[in-house]
Amino acid sequence: MIALLRRDLALTLRSGGGFGLALAFFLILVVLIPFGVGPQSELLSRIAPGVLWVGALLACLLSLDRIFQLDFEDGSLDLLATSPLPLESLALLKALTHWLTTGLPLTVAAPFLGVFLSLPGEAVVWLVSSLALGTPALSLIGAFGAALTVGLKRGGLLISLLVLPLYVPTLIFGAECVRRGAEGLAASTPLLFVAGITAGCVAALPFATASALRVNLR
Amino acid sequence: MTILSGVSFSVGGGEALILRAPNGAGKTTLLRCLAGLTPPVSGEIGFGFDDVAYAAHADGLKAQLSVAENLRFWAEVYGTRDIAPAVEAFSLSALMGRRAMHLSAGQKRRLSLARLLLTGRSLWALDEPTVSLDAEAVGWFAQAVTAHLEIGGAAIIATHIDLGLPSARVLELSQFRHDPDTTSGAFDEAFL
């Protein structure tokens, strides 16, 4: 299992478009917002939680179609499916690789980008913790969407349509957690909801992803 | 959709079975059934999928990884320590540091076949393994299969050419072509 994780991380680093793409997209999106809505820091700090969460979510979407598609095209997905590695752990590992190359860098970069949107200082800790707990759910749901569309040419758009509605609960609770943090209210309840969604996704989605892969490999 | 019906054969340890049929007759479908990727419509497959090492048309190599990295990855997946026998069998040692994207089609195929030796599995299900191999490499492949049979392994090989395996039995698949009108008693099984 560690071999697969190492291989996928090496591939993402060598082929480019992994860490860089999602992070650059997030950066550009967040930097563009003040140009669009004007420099009033009061308005910016009010929309900052939502913008940061929506930005992270869209950045996550960018690389979803690559999770299984590359392995499918070169035939290694067939070979992995016939290897001793269970498809369920393959699904979990692919989601983990996706999170390590998108969700984790986004979480690390978010506090710095919060400055562009004059996010209040006390909200930063909630921003980081909600992203750290919430982005794994985005990767797991995304891997499920990717498994459903794996055989399709140009499945990227279809993944977005399938996956975005499923992202809504994470977005609502994640952004709410940061908003409450920014206003100095108690923010731990929405954070616990985010953690709960992720825990549920970890428990259930690898099995759904594996069955979707099995159907698509027939 | 049913493609083949009434297919029945058995392969024991040390035996090789050559599948022959025209293009599109169902060789790949049958091999994917044997590998556990496509479930058969009906019938029984009498061995565990954990015994099968499947090699498809596609090489399944990662272009950005070197030959050594590709081999070591599969060795780790299958829990094999030593990649040296696989490297030797297909004489890949001169190419070890080269990235798979810079290999020729025949070299890629050799690397892909070397993976079989790392699986340690007893039944090889091979889908046209000799495509784009030169005569010398076909010889290495035949040697590898012979060595595998000598240690009690088995092989089911779909191919169009003569592999130089004198002991191999040949199964003509075209006789099992599914005829929608005569479905009575159709079954689909294989025993090991």
Give the pLDDT score at B184. 46
- The answer to whether residue B189 sits within a structural domain is no
User: Which residues of chain A are within 8 Å of residue B52 when distances are taken between CB atoms?
Assistant: 82
Low-confidence stretches of chain A (pLDDT < 70) are 16-19
Contact A84 B65 (CB under 8 A): no
Give the pLDDT score at A19. 67
Structure confidence at residue B185 as a pLDDT band (50, 70, 90): very low
Contact B115 A79 (CB under 8 A): yes
User: Which residues of chain A are within 8 Å of residue B72 when distances are taken between CB atoms?
Assistant: 3
Q: Does A9 touch chain B (CB under 8 A)?
A: no
- The answer to whether residue B7 sits within a structural domain is no
Residue B190 scores a pLDDT above 60 = no
Q: In the 3-class helix/strand/coil scheme, how is chain B assigned residue by residue?
A: CCCECCCEEECCCCCEEEEECCCCCCHHHHHHHHCCCCCCCCCEEECCHHHEEEECCCCCCCCCCEHHHHHHHHHHHCCCCCCHHHHHHCCCHHHCCCEHHHCCHHHHHHHHHHHHHHHCCCEEEEECCCCCCCHHHHHHHHHHHHHHHHCCCEEEEECCCCCCCCCCEEEEHHHHECCCCCCCCCCCEEEC
Q: Give the CATH number for residue B115.
A: 3.40.50.300
Average pLDDT, chain B: 82
CA distance A175 to chain B (A): 38
Per residue in B129-163, pLDDT tens? 888 888 888 888 888 888 888 888 888 888 888 77
Residue B1 scores a pLDDT above 90 = no
Residues recorded for chain A: 218
Per residue in B86-132, pLDDT tens? 888 888 888 888 888 888 888 888 888 888 888 888 888 888 888 88
Q: Does A78 touch chain B (CB under 8 A)?
A: yes
Q: Are strands B52-55 and B123-127 parallel, antiparallel or unpaired?
A: parallel
Instruction: Give the residue from chain B lying closest to A80, CA to CA.
Output: B77
Percent of chain A at pLDDT exceeding 70: 98
ipTM given for this complex: 0.83
Give the pLDDT score at A32. 92
Residue B192 scores a pLDDT above 50 = no
Q: Domain limits at A106?
A: 2-217
Q: Domain limits at B164?
A: 13-181
Give the pLDDT score at A135. 94
For tokens 């549920």, what's the residue?
Answer: A200
CA distance A215 to chain B (A): 9
CB pairs below 8 Å between A and B: how many? 71
What domain count does chain A have? 1
- The answer to whether residue B35 sits within a structural domain is yes
Q: What is the mean pLDDT of residues B64-68?
A: 86
